[in-house]
Structure 1
């Protein structure tokens, strides 16, 4: 059997795993929100034209966002919903040779692109992680920081996904969450239709999962997005 056919079958199998319904029984908060990202034939080049262009606010202000994350050499960072790997590459440089970056996504095509780009740029501290829709698929207490940029509103099963993220973070670990400002009469029609809830709702969901809001960060250049920093709260009884 030709290698290309084997690779295609492997991708389809991995995508099937990613599309499995969660076993926890949690109902989808926005069915279909990830349909395009679950496509096993997804064309990364099409998304590069959307994600890595100056007209995209988070791309244009990527260095300011990186600074807001306060990443130190040696840290282990998870880029949740890594997509084309824009921030994965920046984190790789920031954590240095003694640090590590996990690029986590539900689509194997994105991860293949990240792996190829990492090899091209000789970034040897990147691991790609194919995850289902209800888990980040990372080992317990394995990461210092989770980065979720314009991705939280794509969490179709936020409760179980956040539970897995809580397990994956080390004690005192942090979440940096950036998402679209959603306010009736202020936000665009696209945002109102695409993003299921505003900052207050998302904040409450994260806090209920065992995180404490540490700060609302002012990131230069962000006008359509807000940035929140959460800290993993201590376990009850500690």
Structure 2
């Protein structure tokens, strides 16, 4: 018990100190020349990328069924799909949480929100709610979310400290933050380096906001499933 209290105190202390953002003379053209804890932040995908998000090959490349299995859903959960895009995961998750659950489909782009709303209406989905976020605020209700899911999104967030601090507040005690990110540790993964993320980098960035590493699931061909949690306070 004392050990847990000590770990919690360290996490809370770390969460109070925001690391600075930096710029550098040389940077990746696919980045925004904004650095956070040694990592350059990448440009995000615009609405023109919807065909890429919906591509049939994604089923084999990213294996969404394995991602959903790793969430170990029981039904009734509130899940925030942050950076939902066109809803690739949103509409796969909706039937899994059932009528008593809810999917919060969060995106920063009006075009993506409009596309989500069109698909909600077309498919008569009743347990999906759209949220228009900002660069620094996911606009999630406090202590109300069981799981926040980001699929190939976190490395593009322009204000990672602010967003993750808000997510920690939005998670219920014991709630989980799940990242799907291309494995930076594997040079054979055919994606630009700036769009990859290592587990050690994620651990470093999550420790700052008081989220603990729970486990990493490596069942996907190219990506980590990295699971962090808000401590049960």
Query: In which range does the TM-score fall when normalised by the shorter chain?
Result: 0.7 to 0.9
**Where does residue 80 of structure 1 map in the other structure?**
82
**Where does residue 192 of structure 2 map in the other structure?**
191
Unaligned runs of 5+ in 2: 1-17, 22-33
**Where does residue 218 of structure 1 map in the other structure?**
218
Unaligned runs of 5+ in 1: 1-23
Runs of 4+ aligned structure 1 residues displaced above 6 Å come to: none
Secondary structure (helix, strand or coil) at the match of 1:102 reads strand
1:58-207 matches, cutoff 5 A: 60-183=62-185, 185-188=187-190, 190-195=191-196, 197-207=197-207
Q: Is the 8 A contact 1:105 1:131 kept in 2?
A: yes
Aligned CA-pair RMSD:
2.3
Secondary structure (helix, strand or coil) at the match of 1:134 reads coil
Residues in 1 aligned to 2:62 and 2:183: alpha-carbon distance in whole angstroms: 17
Residues in 2 aligned to 1:211 and 1:153: alpha-carbon distance in whole angstroms: 17
Q: Report the TM-score, using the length of structure 1 for normalisation.
A: 0.76
Per-residue CA deviations over 1:106-155 (Å, capped at 9, x if unaligned) read: 10111111111111111111111111111211111111100011111112
Residues in 2 aligned to 1:31 and 1:204: alpha-carbon distance in whole angstroms: 15
Q: Is the 8 A contact 2:182 2:195 kept in 1?
A: no
Which is richer in strand? 2
Residues in 1 aligned to 2:71 and 2:186: alpha-carbon distance in whole angstroms: 29
Classify 1:224/1:116 alpha carbon distance in 2 versus 1 (closer, same or farther; 3 Å).
same
Classify 1:25/1:226 alpha carbon distance in 2 versus 1 (closer, same or farther; 3 Å).
closer
Classify 1:57/1:210 alpha carbon distance in 2 versus 1 (closer, same or farther; 3 Å).
farther
Q: Is the 8 A contact 2:211 2:229 kept in 1?
A: yes
Classify 1:73/1:99 alpha carbon distance in 2 versus 1 (closer, same or farther; 3 Å).
same
Q: Report the TM-score, using the length of structure 2 for normalisation.
A: 0.78
1:33 and 2:35 correspond: no
